[in-house]
Structure 1
């Protein structure tokens, strides 16, 4: 190779290697700071794709684990309430047995009956009051809905009635009942009338239309109905109860509440667990329990039969509840194991071997330092040719 001062081949080679070493050292430093060996698709496209899916799976499994834990908590609340109902039924049977004995007069039986009926009412109160996040657990379920008649042209969305919903079953309606809605603009109050029973229910006064884009929920007291109003509702005009404000009650009630819990990460049926909670209302537990009394010997004897049936039915319901709790606990344990293994798989694909990468970074640092030194030496070579002109 001829000697010249125009082109410095050695410096060009040293510079190219220095650039390469610097880029590799920078990439290694980025991996060390991020803690991952795959910073972008160019590092390992296949691992990046698989790792991203596994990361999403782990995140979903964490939420499934939370779902299972909350489901177990919900069932524990239901089981606790059932335990108290069982205690009440035991006391009710004691009272019934006592009242059926001939040594008592009807006066003493009347005293026992006061406690008996109070306990019976407490069973219903517990059933109605046991809830989790607003969901009543032990009072069965309601599938009531409002079906607008063809002539119901005054209670549609365009009239400001966004929705008519049955929020709970108060016993005010049954399937097939015809209901009319009225509004008094003076009192700003709704009235809902069950034409089948001639019974009316009202909302609290002071109802007003919501602003644009908002909704206003109006509760009809004692009816278990909520009217959702939109901004099109005119609270300055009366609404007359006639065929234009009429709807029919559809659906009904059930003594069972079905709850579906998502304990998987997919959409298959195996990703969900459905658990049925039986109602513990007196009417659902035993035939005639809700109307039973112990004010006479004969009634007390009948009450014993009703209470015995209720105790048996409650025991079955608690057994089903316990089985569901155990199932969810095993499901939660399986989710934890799956999450650990999935995270380990993701880690093997994506996480950085810090010791190996540190060794690589040290090597690149040495090459960068050597490259800088050699580039400096190469830049000095043309100067040596100047001695030939001396």
Structure 2
């Protein structure tokens, strides 16, 4: 083995190995400190790209779950209002049936009509004033002309609409008009037809909203499941494996200590050449 003093090749090689080992040690310590395997694109460019796409999708799905739950609350509010309206129409039907009976005097019919008119007014108040989150939802003002759109997924196609405008028109609207009376037998019989039509419309609307509510529940469950699976996938790519990373750090520490000791030995070699000159 030749002995030279101008270039200490063993020391240079050890320094190179130490520099590489220091980078590995810093990487391991950084991962253990942050809990992230991929902290920048230099750690894993492909993993960073996939992780960012998954993170974007997860945020979208989480918001979709919130949207679905908000939509469910809106429809439940509408259904509760129409449930009360249904009960009021039942009472109006009872009053109309009672008024249509010939055993009633005119004063009896007038008294029945007074209650009937109060119920008509309250029906209109429910349609006009029922709101969710500051928006009227039964009078056609909600959404686009009463058509409410629910975004229940991360994709632009993951949406559907529900019509909430029908109560401001049709039979429910007609039965609230002052022309619907029960102050005479003939009027009461005509009112029965209007009330039955209004009940049919309410039943149809509630069925539609019930189906939409079930769809929102399933959409929320699906978005939540996809979000959980996406989180698991992102974790496998982006998060640090503490067992593996701890072992990597321990290995890097041992190599660092050994390399430092070997560098001291390599730096001592030129001194052996000096000893030959004595």
Q: What TM-score, normalized to structure 2? A: 0.91
The DSSP-based 3-state class of the residue aligned with 1:43 is coil
Question: 1:141 deviation in Å?
Answer: 4.2
Give 1:58's aligned residue. 58
Q: For residues 79-228 of structure 1, what are the structure 2 equivalents within 5 Å?
A: 79-141=79-141
Relative to structure 1, the CA distance from residue 373 to residue 106 in structure 2 (aligned partners, 3 Å threshold; closer, same or farther) is same
Mapping of residues 278-317 of structure 1, within 5 Å: 278-281=165-168, 284-285=171-172, 287=174, 289-290=176-177, 291-317=179-205
CA positional deviation for 1:102:
1.4
1:69 counterpart residue number: 69
How far apart are 1:297 and its partner, in Å?
A: 1.7
Q: For residue 246 of structure 2, give the secondary structure of its aligned residue in structure 1.
A: helix
8 Å CA contact 2:175–2:195 kept in 1: the answer is no
Indicate the structure whose relative CO is greater, using CA pairs within 8 Å and at least 6 residues apart. Answer: 2
Q: 2:147 aligns with which of 258, 267, 276?
A: 258
Q: How far apart, CA to CA, are the structure 2 residues paired with 1:286 and 1:93?
A: 16
- How much has 1:284 moved relative to structure 2? 4.1
Instruction: Tell me how far 1:97 sits from its aligned partner.
Output: 1.0
- Residue 377 of structure 1 deviates from its aligned partner by 2.3
Residues 81 and 126 of structure 1 are in contact (CA less than 8 Å); yes or no, is this contact kept in structure 2? yes
What residue in structure 2 maps to residue 342 of structure 1?
A: 230
What are the ranges of 5 or more consecutive residues in structure 2 without an aligned counterpart? none
Q: Please provide the CA RMSD for this pair.
A: 2.2
Cα pair distance change 1:15/1:283, threshold 3 Å = closer
Alpha-carbon distance, 1:40 to partner: 2.4
- TM-score, normalization: structure 1? 0.66
SS in 1 for 2:257: helix
Moved more, 134-143 or 20-29: 134-143
Q: SS state of the match for residue 280, structure 1?
A: helix
The structure that is helix-richer by fraction is 2
Contact residue 289 and residue 307 of structure 1 kept, 8 A = no
Secondary structure at the residue paired with 2:138?
coil
Q: How far off its partner does 1:5 sit?
A: 4.1
Q: CA deviation at 1:326?
A: 0.6
Q: Deviations over 1:136-192 (max 9, x none)?
A: 11112499xxxxxxxxxxxxxxxxxxxxxxxxxxxxxxxxxxxxxxxxxxxxxxxxx
Q: Give the equivalent residue in structure 2 for 1:21.
A: 21
Distance 1:365 1:104 in 2: 101
Task: State the partner residue of 1:246.
Answer: none
The answer (yes or no) to whether the contact 2:37–2:238 under 8 Å persists in 1 is yes
Shift of 1:277: 1.6
Q: Is the 8 A contact 1:123 1:282 kept in 2?
A: no
3-state SS, counterpart of residue 261 of structure 1:
strand
- Distance in 1, matches of 2:169 and 2:90, equals 14
CA deviation after TM superposition for structure 1 residue 23, in Å: 1.4
Cα distance change of structure 1 residues 5 and 376 upon mapping to structure 2, 3 Å threshold? same
8 Å CA contact 2:100–2:184 kept in 1: the answer is: yes
Structure 1: which 5+ residue stretches go unaligned? 144-253
SS at match of 2:38: coil
> CA-to-partner distance for each residue in 1:178-208, whole Å, 9 max, x for gaps?
xxxxxxxxxxxxxxxxxxxxxxxxxxxxxxx
Partner Cα separation in structure 2 for residue 361 and residue 298 of structure 1: 93
> Secondary structure, in 3 states, of the residue corresponding to 1:65?
helix
